[in-house]
Chain A
Amino acid sequence: MKRIFREFYFKNAEKVEIPSRFDRREFGYTPFEGGMIRHLAFKEAGEIKALLVREVPRSAFYSVSYYLEPSFQMMEKGWIGGDLAFDIDADDLGLPCKMEHDIWACVNCGLREIGIKPEKCPRCGESKIDEQNWSCRKCVGGAKEETIKLLDILMQDFGLMKKEIRVYFSGSMGFHVAVESKMFEEIDQMGRNEIADYVAGLGLTPALLGIYPQSNFEELYRKLPTVGEGGWRRRIAQYFNKEEVEGYDGVEKNGREKIAYIYKTLGYSKFKKMLEDASRKIGVAIDTSVTTDVHRIFRLPETLHGETGFLKRRCDDLFRFDAFNDAVALGDEPIEIFVDISPRFTIRGQSFGPYRSERLKLPTMAAVYLIGRGVAKVP
């Protein structure tokens, strides 16, 4: 795998996207031999590309933050600011296709199967079971929908411009979104926590809709949101407007009447609970810890993902982006491998698998995909 990555970087290191203000960022990488090397800093973009060719990392990263001294230890770097970072991972969506491609493995007896992780190993009864998440076109499609929701919030609510937002396919399970904006770069961890919760819809209370436990119903109606408003009030009104509500026969289309009906039917406590559930569904399935953590490192764009061999790739046209085609960087040259277990998967229109304890020849892109996932090896 290292030979293939070396060949790739030898030919393509020039195409690697070097982040802005790179001389203020920390860089790091994971070598094929294991471990993690961090706290690297570079004065020239060429040095970063040279590192990729020389060291051939399994994965390469850059910090979302900018520091006075990026090569120092974390507490001594001197944080100046950072991009806002969002990570959308298909695995968090809990889509039904998981059972077609996820793999679990018993820690005790080593039994490996495709499907949802059981409570206990059916062979030995062990409860310690590892799981490995795979992705398919449906998963990436789901993550794409979440990314579109995120872009709506960033532009409509936070007033960010398109040129301040960069969207990337992560190279594996979803999308990375990086926001570089003067307005937001100095927001600290607590502020980023608020942004993460806002985007994810965590902690919304009925007060945003003008509803309080002691609210008088008649007075309440005019405080409720409508689809014509902005921000989360619009989202809530749109959500309830589309929801099928048993017993509701109103005709009004602005969302308000339906919310009033639901509230009258459920009462405050149940409505509050229902609203919490709704806001989680409406919110974006981001990994909130990524957005909150100012010391996070992100995969370097246009480098290979060590677990798939796919590229982390810029998506200028998100709607048309096809991860299993546009992010595939490796070629068709056949490689002989031994596959322990693999679900069915498709790369560049070619379908592979499922495999079980098989020795076979696969195109480089598919072979690396399986070796990177840890389910195959070169015999």
Chain B
Amino acid sequence: MASELGLYDLAKYPFLPEAGEYVRSHGLSVGALAQPDYHAILERATQRVMEAARGKDPSEEVDEKDILSFAVSILLVKATKLDHLLSRFALTEAIRVEKLLSKEKPWMIERIVEASTSIDVSQANLELAGRPLEFKVPVSEYLKRAPKFSSDKWRLLNQIVDGGYVFLTRPDLIRLFREEISKTIYARAKSVSVPKLPDALEKIVNEIVEATPTPKRLEYERGRKPEDYPPCIVHLLESQSKSENIPHFGRFFMATYLLNVGKTVDEVVEMHKTVPDFDERVARYQVEHIAGLRGGRTKYKVPTCRTVISHGMCYKHPIYCYNIRSPLQYPSKYSAKLLRGKRKEKAGKE
């Protein structure tokens, strides 16, 4: 199969083992990179890393020097010692691969996917529901990847599933495996050790560090007011106040949510007092367990929106719940105002 890949192919997919062999056979040294002969490669490598640092859409222009520019860009990223840049770089490169693959012949797509995942992808050549379903993958492999995507489109129930396979269009197959391509690139880069760089390269590395924004930490709002609770929680609290019997999952969900927005164990236990079979000792034990104060000492996470939907407890707000994955991401009244315009427009297209 190696003979089927030309240098241009390796330039498009430089994370393939064959591309690695090419770089090794080229005998590229770090010292030589500062020489004028390698100026174009260094420039292209810098551009690759800057695309990742600035969150730009990766370009699809490729030429043969990109086999080397990819290797050099890994050196530059590693030299910054910024792990979040390494992740962004791997993702940006994977997005470039996604774009390039979308124009390839089916055998090349199979080849690249198999090289990064060892999953048996086969051609299906079917058309159903107006979708050209070129490929099929085993259901189990689909399930290891797709549930991480939040859109309804990726839900197993909305796929064509038959005989142990999920049938996919070309863009969907490529998107499904993009994470793995990204992980392959990340792992490759992670294993590279960086020697002392010439001053000219150190200067570039410093420029990259300056251009890379610090990652934002996602912090959920504590002390959230009841009027800002998402509709699923509001509904459960209303049922509870009417002494309706709430299934175990509903109680668990309420407890994790309330603890996560800053309620104390006592407050959560107090809120459960209206349930028909309330037993304070049992309730306290369970809430303390969820809060990570007992048993394995792990604080339980709030279930995702998808899990809440599965339990039939989602009362989706058409605008504010748009594109959120966790009930914790439901906007407060204040931030909702800011979001309203943006989400209303998108939700209308759903």
* Chain A contacts to B: CB under 8 angstroms: 73-76, 107, 127-131, 156-160, 183-184, 186-188, 190-191, 193-198, 200-205, 207-210, 219, 222-223, 225, 229-233, 279, 288-289, 292
Contact = CB atoms under 8 A, between A and B. Distances in A.
Contacts of A208: 129, 157-160
A166 to B, nearest CB: 19
Interface of B: 128-131, 138-140, 143-144, 146-148, 152-153, 155-165, 242-243, 245, 248-249, 276-277, 295-298, 304, 306-307, 309-312
A196 B129 contact: no
Contacts of B297: 75
A157 B167 CA distance: 11
Most buried by B among A157, A202, A222: A157
A201 B312 CA distance: 12
A159 B307 contact: no
A160 B162 CA distance: 11
Most buried by B among A156, A194, A207: A194
B155 A223 contact: no
Given A193-B307, A207-B129, A208-B159, 9 more contacts: A157-B161, A184-B140, A187-B140, A194-B155, A195-B156, A197-B309, A198-B161, A208-B158, A208-B160
Contacts of A233: 128-129, 160
A27 to B, nearest CB: 18
A289 B162 CA distance: 24
Given A75-B298, A193-B307, A202-B310, A130 B277 contact: yes
A194 B140 contact: no
B143 A195 contact: yes
7 pairs of A and B residues whose beta carbons are closest in the complex = A159-B164, A230-B162, A75-B296, A210-B129, A191-B143, A190-B147, A128-B276
Contacts of A279: 157
A186 B157 contact: no
A193 B162 contact: no
Contacts of B147: 190-191, 193-194
A183 B138 contact: yes
5 contacts: A158-B161, A196-B310, A201-B157, A232-B157, A232-B161
Nearest to A232: B157
A99 to B, nearest CB: 18
A368 B144 CA distance: 45
A187 B144 contact: yes
A73 B129 contact: no
Contacts of B144: 186-188, 191
Contacts of A195: 143, 156
A36 B327 CA distance: 32
Contacts of A202: 157, 309-310, 312
